Amino acid sequence: MSAVAADWIPDDVDRLKASPSRVYDYLLGGGCNFSVDREWAEQAIRRMPWIRAAARSNRTFLRRAVAFCAGAGVRQFLDLGSGIPTAQSVHEIARRIDPESRVVYVDNERVAVSHSELLLADIKGTGIIEADLCDVDYVLEHDTTRSLLDFDQPVALIITAALYYVADPDLAVNTVKRYLAALAPGSYLVLSHATLGRHEQDAMKLSHVLEMTKSLTTSATARSPEWILGLFDGLDIVEPGLVYTSNWRPEGPQSVDESPWQAAVLAAVGRKTP
Ligand SMILES: C[S@@+](CC[C@H](N)C(=O)[O-])C[C@H]1O[C@@H](n2cnc3c(N)ncnc32)[C@H](O)[C@@H]1O
């Protein structure tokens, strides 16, 4: 590995344990991962062959939802569990609509943070905080947040494919509530979350992969559509509501088949009203 390529690897990172951000990076075709992550991902692909499509579908939902929020006038983004930066990150999408858009990324994994630091170093109006997303006060009071985001103006709060790493359901719900309470009217919640879907056989395969996540640095949990919808209590959910990621305002013709990856991750966008 070249010296340049190694810049994103912090000294203290455990290379023997696979991690959510690096496995996801591998599934998306990125290069910020170790052999332990690739082996874990390949095993997961064998158990659930559509996991890569599910990851891509989640990522494209995120891009469409950010473009939607930017199109609705939002110029500030707080991305919790942002992951290892990949092509078309939140600031790139938002800045197509307004180059002055500001973005704060938050992640608790060293590799995701160090890679983001490298990428964002020269990009004004963006920042990365190393934090547990449940540490709401720390994130909201952080100098980076305070210097980049104005909480009197709307903010898009993004939590895609990240809340399912918070094992305690009450903590997850309260965390979302506390962030939303800090946001001005006109703000948005952009959220996606793993769910078991309707088909027993596919659900079993996803359950096996979720069981496998116990060997990652953080394990994941699927939750019911009702539970996920509850996170939007008090918000106006924008059309088409809570749907599988690939069905949220697709750019091409609306998909009519029920491919398994559509049934792995639910997504919605909600608006905070006065
Ligand atoms: C599957 S990736 C999703 C990345 C990105 N949000 C997306 O949708 O493309 C999940 C990310 O959430 C991060 N994460 C998991 N639990 C977290 C926590 N408690 N606090 C902050 N980040 C967390 C992981 O480190 C990882 O980078």
State the DSSP H helix or E strand holding residue 189, giving kind and residue range, or none if neither: strand 188-194
Rounded Cα–Cα distance for residues 245 and 191 (Å): 10
**Which atom of ligand 1 is found nearest the CA of 112?**
27
Task: For 93-118, write each residue's pLDDT tens digit.
Answer: 999 999 999 999 999 999 999 999 99
Q: Which fold has domain 14-272?
A: Rossmann fold (3.40.50)
Structure tokens at 21: 């951000």
Domain chopping of the chain, boundaries? 14-272
Question: Could you tell me the pLDDT band of residue 5, with boundaries at 50, 70 and 90?
Answer: very low
Residue whose entry in the numeric block shows the structure tokens 């596919």: 202
**Which atom of ligand 1 is found nearest the CA of 28?**
9
Interval 227-232 mean pLDDT: 98
Question: Which pLDDT does position 254 carry in this prediction?
Answer: 56
**Which atom of ligand 1 is found nearest the CA of 62?**
8
Question: Could you tell me the pLDDT band of residue 258, with boundaries at 50, 70 and 90?
Answer: low
Instruction: Provide the CB-side half-sphere exposure for 49 (13 A, CA).
Output: 2
Q: Ligand 1 atom 13: the closest Cα is on which residue?
A: 81
Question: Could you tell me the pLDDT band of residue 252, with boundaries at 50, 70 and 90?
Answer: confident
Q: Ligand 1 atom 19: the closest Cα is on which residue?
A: 132
